[in-house]
Amino acid sequence: MSSIPSEQVSPGKASLFYDPKIRGYVYQAALVAIVVFLIWSAASNAIENLRAQKIASGFGFWHNAAGFDINQKLIPFSASGGSTYGDAFIVGLLNTLLVAGLGIVLATFLGFFIGVARLSNNWVISKLAMIYVEVIRNIPLLLQLFFWYNAVLKPLPNPRQSIELPAGALLNNRGLYLPDPQLGPGGSLIVWAFLIGLVATFVFRHWARKQQAATGRQYPIGWVALALIVVLPLLVYFVTGRPVSFIYPELAGFNLRGGIQIFPEFVALLIGLTTYTAGFIAEVVRAGILAVSKGQTEAAHALGLRNGPTLKLVVIPQAMRVIIPPLTSNYLNLTKNSSLAVAIGYPDLVQVFTGTVLNQTGQAVEVVAITMAVYLTISLVTSLFMNIYNKRMALVER
Amino acid sequence: MTDATTENAPYAFVRRETLQQEPAPLSVAGPLAWIRTNLFSSPLNAILTLLCVWLVVDTVPGMVRFYFLDAVWTGTNRDACLADKIGRPVGACWAYVADRTQYFIYGSYPVAERWRVNIVFVMFALGVVWLLWNRAPLKKVGVFFFFVIMPASAFILLLGGDRAESFLRFLILVTFALAVLYLVLSFVPSLMTFWIGEGQLAVEEAMPAWQRFYRPKRLILMALVIFGILALLADRVGLPRVDTGLWGGMTVTFLISAVGIVFSLPLGVLLALGRRSKLPAIQLLSVIFIEFVRGVPLITVLFMANTMLPLFVPQEWSPDRLLRPLIGVALFAAAYMAEVVRGGLQAMPKGQYEGAMSLGLGYWQMMRLIILPQALRIVIPGIVNTFIGLFKDTTLVTIVGIFDFLRTIEATLIDPTWATPTTRSTGYAFAAIFYFLCCWGMSRYSIAVEKRLAAGQKR
């Protein structure tokens, strides 16, 4: 090395081969060329294969009539009523959003409860919470879904021997039947009262907070909320002469008629997703609370705050900063995991669209691309919103 | 000053008279004190404790009775597990699990050929222990074994037949050629002047011949020995082809996980490097791939692999039905692995990069010798956690029709030979225990590594 005479090394004249900039361009050009080639050859192969198998391409199938029925639907859908594959897509999408939305709410409550329980001073509670988390997190979700669906809900008695639950609800192997509330004349007033109560609560809370900030006086927000949201509609209910009647499910032949039927597939999926994700959320919550230094709690106690206000005003607001990012990814995981519905036959987007529609039309490329686009959109939109929220919650430093 | 506050201020907080002596505190040690502080510290806590105890008392004895006391342990068909046949209440039917163990492990793999699966299991276990056990020697050889030799041998052993044997011949040829090349080079090092330069050549020439290229020689020697044994097996015992449709059970579960880890880790490292690269095209492509895969559920990736992959290649190359989900799982895991590795790369202090560059190392040398060894070490827990997720996700291949472990359980539940009321709960319990032990073991390992890594930072 040292034997190289110094006049040979002239910094400006290094060969192009060793110029990092040029090399960078070459590498990128090569990579882009490979990717373009892969995409091009895949596309040309696909076109040829599709032609050989006589499968149509394009999105024309969207408006074709779908020759199948779906049991759980939030919008009208029937094969005989001329519903299209596009309608099937919307039914599936709504079912996915329904189970994901409910699952997120329930899993959050359960997860927070278990996460706090794991940190409890109470030995029995913290150990039980630990066992729950360890067991739930280390068993595949699919197995848990099979368990809930095949081992818990399927062996329930048939409709003739339905289990009677309180308030006229019935439980059997075809699902959970709830009484169907019917609003009589003046019944809509109750709904309005409830909505007004909800709005009034928010207004009052806002006002009370402002008052507290200005004068230091505290108002009983909880009691007022209870009065506005629960007592007000009840009052209207009695004043208008109890205009709500129920249609109870009753036996007709081998099946039940009337009432709201909640399908066992939905129940199994909801229970499975909720309990599974709650195990993960519990760990997130625990980590978040542990991340708040003990000095914060001690300082709050030194100021004379009791345990409850300390948790509510000091610990949780700081823990939320740590909790929110992983909580978001758990919400997204739950949404993506709802696609396991296909294994137990809940008509979600994947089961309806990537399952039935794909089998009927054979248009794999279009169907899978649409499905993936939906999940991708949900993921990106959620992370966008969470990033905004996260920015608002983030520590403001100098 | 003190006088001013205590005597004159209207709102003095300092107490002026001594308090009554408080009674001695209740005992703070011993079992009674423990129960008081940990179980009954407040009325609410007492109620919760009693509620939990009631919950445990209500469920645990029933489960113990079902899975142990009333369980049936031996038998050859469903009659052993029917309550009216044996005249007592019947709990779990473990006889069914015992009877079907072979099927759960090997699926429909031909009985006469199962020794091949066993060899692969042993190699897999060896590779895992070699890599994960902290004090195992020759780590680099272990890496080569796990990422190159084991996958190749597993392919040859599990599949067998003409294709595997020609692949084996090719491998032997390559390793043999490399061995000869290294042998020649170690005796006549001057052949390499154009390749390694004058300075390095002088260093090499100063060494005795047997010590030159010591490291590569170890790898080649190992490859030669293992492939030689395989060739011997193929020659003496014969490795007839076993169609992938016959593979099943834990074999397939472990196969998918192994393929997932073996391919996703290197791919994930490349993607992570790409995402942190300064070259915009490479960065963009990596980000698109990673975010796309992480944004969609694994099932859609599997459906895509299952239905679209055959369309994307010429028909005569149409991938095997087992190969399709393997590709899907490997790509899926790679995106998650990339994010874990990226975390490690970001955790490296800038001084490490600058130090490496100031030594004159190029990009790949810097990554290979300085950055990646440190970055990968700190993300071992993350890698293991990703792998736990991957292991659980292998169950999803059930949905695209692959006979993994969970699918074999489901299959035996339909089989009338063991159709009893308690078969299903037994099968699910067995599956749950299997997955729990695997995942829990891995998570214990990752916690242990985390502790070991944190030991250096502890004060």
Residue B200 touches partner A, C-beta closer than 8 Å: no
Q: How far is A374 from chain B (nearest CA, A)?
A: 9
Chain A CB contacts of B198 under 8 Å are 3
Between A31, A45, A143, which is nearest B312 by CB? Answer: A45
Which of B144, B112, B145 has its CA nearest to residue B126?
B145
Chain A CB contacts of B392 under 8 Å are 139-141
For B306, name the nearest residue in chain A, comparing CA atoms only.
Answer: A364
In this prediction, residue A6 carries a pLDDT of: 47
Which one of B275, B290, B312, B316 makes the best mutation probe of the A interface by having the most chain A beta carbons within 10 Å? B312
Q: How far is B275 from chain A (nearest CA, A)?
A: 13
Helix, strand or coil, per DSSP, at residue B306: helix
Q: How many CB pairs under 8 A join A and B?
A: 147
Task: Work out the average pLDDT over A208-215.
Answer: 88
Chain B CB contacts of A134 under 8 Å are 440
Higher pLDDT, B14 or B439: B439
Q: Where are the domains of chain A?
A: 16-53, 85-150+264-393
Task: Work out the average pLDDT over B221-235.
Answer: 86
Residue identified by tokens 């890594």 is B453
In this predicted structure, the answer to whether residue B194 has a pLDDT above a threshold of 70 is no
pLDDT band at A397 (very low <50, low <70, confident <90, very high): low
For A133, name the nearest residue in chain B, comparing CA atoms only.
Answer: B440
Going A308 to A204 to A110 to B445, the CA torsion angle's sign is: negative
**Rounded to whole angstroms, how far apart are CA atoms B249 and B151?**
19
Superfamily of domain B250-402: MetI-like (1.10.3720.10)
pLDDT band at B196 (very low <50, low <70, confident <90, very high): low
Chain B CB contacts of A375 under 8 Å are 295-297, 300
Q: How many CB atoms lie within 10 A of CB B77?
A: 15
Task: Work out the average pLDDT over A227-239.
Answer: 85
With CB atoms and an 8 Å threshold, state whether B299 touches A340.
Answer: yes
- Return all residues near B389 (Cβ < 8 A) that are at least 6 apart: B336
Quick check: B413 and B427 in contact, CB under 8 A?
yes
**Rounded to whole angstroms, how far apart are CA atoms A187 and A233?**
10
How far from chain centre, in Å, is Cα A62? Answer: 27
In this prediction, residue A135 carries a pLDDT of: 93
Task: Work out the average pLDDT over B46-55.
Answer: 89
In this prediction, residue B81 carries a pLDDT of: 84
Chain B CB contacts of A32 under 8 Å are 281, 285
Q: How far is A78 from chain B (nearest CA, A)?
A: 26
pLDDT band at B319 (very low <50, low <70, confident <90, very high): confident
Between A3, A358, A380, which is nearest B307 by CB? Answer: A358
For B315, name the nearest residue in chain A, comparing CA atoms only.
Answer: A49
In this prediction, residue B215 carries a pLDDT of: 64
Q: How far is B308 from chain A (nearest CA, A)?
A: 6
In this prediction, residue B2 carries a pLDDT of: 47
Give Cα separations from A311 to A125, A298, A306, A307, B48 (angstroms).
19, 11, 9, 6, 19
Task: Work out the average pLDDT over B419-444.
Answer: 91
For A39, name the nearest residue in chain B, comparing CA atoms only.
Answer: B312
For A343-367, the DSSP string reads HHT---HIIIIIIIIHHHH--HHHH
Name the CATH topology of A85-150+264-393: MetI-like fold (1.10.3720)
Between A35, A150, A375, which is nearest B285 by CB? Answer: A35
pLDDT band at A9 (very low <50, low <70, confident <90, very high): very low
Task: Work out the average pLDDT over A19-41.
Answer: 89
Could you tell me the maximum CA-CA distance found in chain A, to the nearest angstrom?
A: 106
In this predicted structure, the answer to whether residue A174 has a pLDDT above a threshold of 80 is yes
Which of B346, B154, B369 has its CA nearest to residue B254?
B154
In this prediction, residue B286 carries a pLDDT of: 93
DSSP class of residue A83 equals -
Give Cα separations from B148 to B153, B203, B244, B384 (angstroms).
9, 30, 21, 20
The sheet with strand A260-262 has its strands ordered as A163-164, A170-172, A175-178, A260-262
Q: Tens of pLDDT along A65-95?
A: 877 888 888 788 877 777 888 888 999 999 9
Residue identified by tokens 């970001």 is B346
In this predicted structure, the answer to whether residue A242 has a pLDDT above a threshold of 80 is no
**Rounded to whole angstroms, how far apart are CA atoms B258 and B330?**
9
Share of chain A above pLDDT 90, in %: 31
Q: How many CB atoms lie within 10 A of CB B236?
A: 7
Q: How far is B312 from chain A (nearest CA, A)?
A: 4
With CB atoms and an 8 Å threshold, state whether A45 touches B313.
Answer: yes
Region of residue B87 (phi > 0: left; psi between -120 and 50: alpha; otherwise: beta): left
With CB atoms and an 8 Å threshold, state whether B435 touches A143.
Answer: yes
Q: Where are the alpha helices (DSSP H) in B22-73?
A: 30-38, 43-64
For A49, name the nearest residue in chain B, comparing CA atoms only.
Answer: B311
How far from chain centre, in Å, is Cα A233? Answer: 30
Between A24, A35, A49, which is nearest B311 by CB? Answer: A49
**Rounded to whole angstroms, how far apart are CA atoms B317 and B310?**
8
Task: Work out the average pLDDT over A234-252.
Answer: 80
Q: Are strands A244-247 and A250-252 parallel, antiparallel or unpaired?
A: unpaired
Lowest mean pLDDT among A193-197, B158-162, B189-193: B189-193
φ and ψ of B131, to 5 deg: -80, -35
Higher pLDDT, A240 or B374: B374
**Rounded to whole angstroms, how far apart are CA atoms A136 and A115?**
13
Q: Is the ipTM of this complex over 0.90?
A: no
In this predicted structure, the answer to whether residue B209 has a pLDDT above a threshold of 80 is no
Q: Tens of pLDDT along A332-347?
A: 999 999 999 999 989 9
Which one of A19, A143, A276, A280 makes the best mutation probe of the B interface by having the most chain B beta carbons within 10 Å? A143
With CB atoms and an 8 Å threshold, state whether B432 touches A123.
Answer: no
Higher pLDDT, A300 or B85: A300
- Return all residues near A4 (Cβ < 8 A) that are at least 6 apart: none
Residue B425 touches partner A, C-beta closer than 8 Å: yes
In this predicted structure, the answer to whether residue B359 has a pLDDT above a threshold of 60 is yes
pLDDT band at B4 (very low <50, low <70, confident <90, very high): very low
Lowest mean pLDDT among A112-116, A185-189, A276-280, B165-169: A185-189
Higher pLDDT, B118 or A177: B118
With CB atoms and an 8 Å threshold, state whether B312 touches A31.
Answer: no
pLDDT band at A113 (very low <50, low <70, confident <90, very high): very high
Q: Where are the domains of chain B?
A: 66-109+406-452, 138-241, 250-402
Let me know if A278 is exposed, middle or buried by CB neighbors in 10 A (0-12, 13-18, 19+). buried
For B413, name the nearest residue in chain A, comparing CA atoms only.
Answer: A150
**Rounded to whole angstroms, how far apart are CA atoms B221 and B336?**
35
Chain A CB contacts of B278 under 8 Å are 24
Q: pLDDT averaged over chain B?
A: 85
Going A24 to A27 to A31 to A32, the CA torsion angle's sign is: positive
Share of chain A above pLDDT 70, in %: 94
With CB atoms and an 8 Å threshold, state whether B303 touches A354.
Answer: yes
Going B179 to B182 to B186 to B188, the CA torsion angle's sign is: positive
φ and ψ of A246, to 5 deg: -120, 140
Quick check: A364 and B306 in contact, CB under 8 A?
no
Q: How far is A364 from chain B (nearest CA, A)?
A: 6
Quick check: A273 and A334 in contact, CB under 8 A?
yes
pLDDT band at B42 (very low <50, low <70, confident <90, very high): confident
Q: How far is B39 from chain A (nearest CA, A)?
A: 5
**Rounded to whole angstroms, how far apart are CA atoms B120 and B123?**
5
Let me know if A155 is exposed, middle or buried by CB neighbors in 10 A (0-12, 13-18, 19+). exposed
For A145, name the nearest residue in chain B, comparing CA atoms only.
Answer: B428
Interface of B with A in 333-392 (CB under 8 A): 388, 392
CB under 8 Å, gap of 24 or more: what pairs does B346-353 form? B346/B276, B347/B375, B347/B378, B348/B374, B348/B375
**Rounded to whole angstroms, how far apart are CA atoms B284 and B305?**
23
Which one of A21, A47, A136, A138 makes the best mutation probe of the B interface by having the most chain B beta carbons within 10 Å? A138
In this prediction, residue A252 carries a pLDDT of: 74
Q: Tens of pLDDT along A134-168?
A: 999 999 999 999 999 998 888 888 877 888 877 77
Q: pLDDT averaged over chain A?
A: 85
Between A128, A139, A368, which is nearest B308 by CB? Answer: A368
**Rounded to whole angstroms, how far apart are CA atoms A66 and A90?**
13
B250-275 helix and B150-159 helix, angle to the nearest 10 degrees:
140
In this predicted structure, the answer to whether residue B373 has a pLDDT above a threshold of 50 is yes
With CB atoms and an 8 Å threshold, state whether B296 touches A379.
Answer: yes
For A134, name the nearest residue in chain B, comparing CA atoms only.
Answer: B440
Residue B398 touches partner A, C-beta closer than 8 Å: yes
